[in-house]
Amino acid sequence: MSEVVEPQLSFAFEARVDIGPVEHVGQAGGAPVGFTPILGGTVGGPRLSGEVVPGGGDWTVSRPGYAVDLDARYLIRAEDGALIDIVNRGFWVGSPEVEEALDAGEVVGADRYYFRTQPVFRTDAPQHAWLTHTVFVGTAYDDNQLNQIRIRFYEVC
C-alpha cells in the first residue's frame, strides 16, 4: 500500500440556514425534482462569521430507493462585508420512515440519516481566499422545529 498523508478534518464554521417550504417541480428527467428556498440565516465558528444572504436554494432530486441528490447554492456575507459563494452538493440518505417523521414535524436525531455534503466556495476577497485553496466537507442536521438546516463545515487537512 502506498504511503500517503492521512487526512484530518478540522471544524471551520457552521451555517444555520433558514428554509421555506419545498416546491415540488415533479417528475423531470425521470426523477422527482424539488426546490427549497433559502430565506436567510447565520454563520459562526472559529474560521468564519457572517450571515446567509436570502435568495439561494437547494435543488433536490429524489429517486425512490436511492440517495437524494442535493444541490444547494447561496451566498454568505462575512462579518467584514465580503461575499462568499457556496455550491453545496451532497446526499441525503434515510429510510422512508425517517423521511415521513421529518415531514410530520417530529424531532429526528441526526444519527438516523446520512446528510453529508461537498461544499465548494468562491470569493474575490483575499482574506477568505483560503476557502478556495482547500477541500471541505459538510455534515448537516435538519432542524424541522426551526425550519432550519444546520451544516457544519470541516476543512480536509
Partner 1 sequence: MNAEEQKGVEAPRVSAVHLRPLMVISVTADEPVVVDSQRRYVPLTGGTFESADGLRGTVLPGGADWQRVRPDGSLELDAHYALRTDDGRGIEVRSTGVRRADADVLRRLTSGDQVDPNEYYFRTHIVLRTSAPGLAHLDGLVGISTGRRDAALVHIHVHEVL
* Residues 78-117, interacting with partner 1 (CB under 8 A): 79, 90-91, 93, 109-111, 114, 116-117
**C-alpha cell of 73?**
447554492
Pick one of 12, 14, 17, 72: the residue that binds partner 1 (CB under 8 A).
Answer: 14
Write the CA distances from 95 to 57, 64, 81, integer angstroms: 24, 10, 41
To partner 1, the closest distance from the beta carbon of 144 in angstroms equals: 12
User: What does residue 101 show for φ and ψ, rounded to 5 degrees?
Assistant: -60, -40
To partner 1, the closest distance from the beta carbon of 125 in angstroms equals: 15
Q: How far is residue 52's CA from residue 24's CA, in Å, rounded to a whole number?
A: 23
Q: Does 140 bind partner 1 (CB under 8 A)?
A: yes
Q: How far is residue 39's CA from residue 119's CA, in Å, rounded to a whole number?
A: 19
Are 13 and 48 spatial neighbours (Cβ–Cβ below 8 Å)?
A: yes
Pick one of 31, 71, 83, 118: the residue that binds partner 1 (CB under 8 A).
Answer: 118
Q: How far is residue 31's CA from residue 69's CA, in Å, rounded to a whole number?
A: 11
Any residues with CB less than 8 A from the CB of 105 and at least 6 apart, and which? Answer: 144, 145
Report the length, in residues, of the chain.
157
Quick one: 79 or 97, whose CB is closer to partner 1?
79
Print the binding letters for residues 45-74 with partner 1: x by CB under 8 A, - otherwise. Answer: xx--xxx--------------xx-------
Quick one: 57 or 90, whose CB is closer to partner 1?
90
Where along the sequence are the contacts to partner 1 (CB under 8 A)? 1-7, 9, 14, 16, 42-46, 49-51, 66-67, 79, 90-91, 93, 109-111, 114, 116-118, 120, 133-135, 137, 139-141, 143, 150, 152, 154, 156
